[in-house]
Amino acid sequence: MTENKVNLIYDDLDNDIADVDKRAVYQVVTPPIVEKFAIGSPINPILTIIKNGQPLVLDNLNYELRSKNNAVAKVINGTLMAISEGEAEIYIYFPDLPETEE
């Protein structure tokens, strides 16, 4: 290996570009409260996504919010919306990690 290639590998590992850890552990942390959203408004729950113990910046992450009760909340034009009164269990889906669908 040339020094240039070694430096590139180290840079990728430092910046988590290589994502060499195939056994990455993801956690979704939410506050212990029931959140309420007005009918017709987008649902943006308070959450933190943690990968291997480190919080991730949500703006840099490809994820989708989905509802288990489409009568109360459903995706409209790519945004999860409150559409009627009731309770809905919300889950997060990572399109880049299809094995994490639920």
Q: Give the DSSP per-residue string, 30-60.
A: --SS-----TTSB-----EEEETTEEPPGGG
In a domain, 64, yes or no: yes
In a domain, 52, yes or no: yes
Average pLDDT over residues 56-76: 87
Structure tokens at 49: 């996504």
Residue 67 forms beta bridges with which residues?
90
Helix, strand, or coil (residue 19): coil
In a domain, 39, yes or no: yes
Q: For residue range 37-49, what is the model confidence (pLDDT) as tens digits?
A: 999 999 988 888 8
In a domain, 6, yes or no: no
Q: Which residue range is the domain that position 34 belongs to?
A: 23-100
Q: For residue range 82-92, what is the model confidence (pLDDT) as tens digits?
A: 999 999 888 88
In a domain, 17, yes or no: no
In a domain, 4, yes or no: no
Q: For residue range 1-54, what is the model confidence (pLDDT) as tens digits?
A: 444 444 444 444 555 555 555 577 778 888 888 889 999 999 988 888 888 888
Average pLDDT over residues 64-72: 91
Average confidence score pLDDT of the chain: 77
In a domain, 35, yes or no: yes
Q: What is the domain count for the chain?
A: 1
Confidence class for position 99, pLDDT limits 50, 70, 90: low
Q: Please state, as a whole number, how many other Cβ atoms lie within 10 Å of the Cβ of residue 73.
A: 25
In a domain, 12, yes or no: no
